[in-house]
Amino acid sequence: MTVLEGWWAYVFIAIAGWLATDLWRWLGVLAGNRLREDSEALNWVRAVATALVAAVIAKLILYPTGVLEQSPLWLRLGSVATGAVAFFIGRQKPAIGIATAIAVLAIGLHILGV
């Protein structure tokens, strides 16, 4: 694992982090109400953006770092699946799905003695 040091770390974060994200926000402001809500191009942008974030989510669940690295995959997938069931039963309230998934994970980790 690499860790950046000194002023270069801040330049790196400013360019690859701040500029890389705020660029889209500025374009978003400029597009403003000029962007047609019903256009097919915007639909494609939405799909690509969501798939990107979904890929990040999947990696965080399947290949976690730190403590969860030693936890079994079936426990992590089981927590998410149980949370999803609770989420849909609970009228798609995020808090219900999140609390259930985390509770299942915590119980599982406790039983396994992690």
Q: Which SS3 state, helix, strand or coil, does residue 38 take?
A: coil
Let me know: does 90 contact 97? Beta carbons within 8 Å. yes
- Contacts from 103-106 at CB under 8 Å and sequence distance 24+? 104/78, 104/79, 105/71, 105/75, 105/76, 105/79
Smallest distance, Å, CB 105 to other proteins? Answer: 6
Smallest distance, Å, CB 37 to other proteins? Answer: 7
Q: Which is nearer to other proteins, 54 or 89 (CB)?
A: 54
Smallest distance, Å, CB 86 to other proteins? Answer: 10
Phi, psi dihedral angles at 19 (to 5 degrees): -65, -40
Q: What angle do CA 86, 101, 70 make, to 5 degrees?
A: 155
Q: Which is nearer to other proteins, 47 or 89 (CB)?
A: 47
Q: Which is nearer to other proteins, 18 or 74 (CB)?
A: 18
Smallest distance, Å, CB 60 to other proteins? Answer: 4
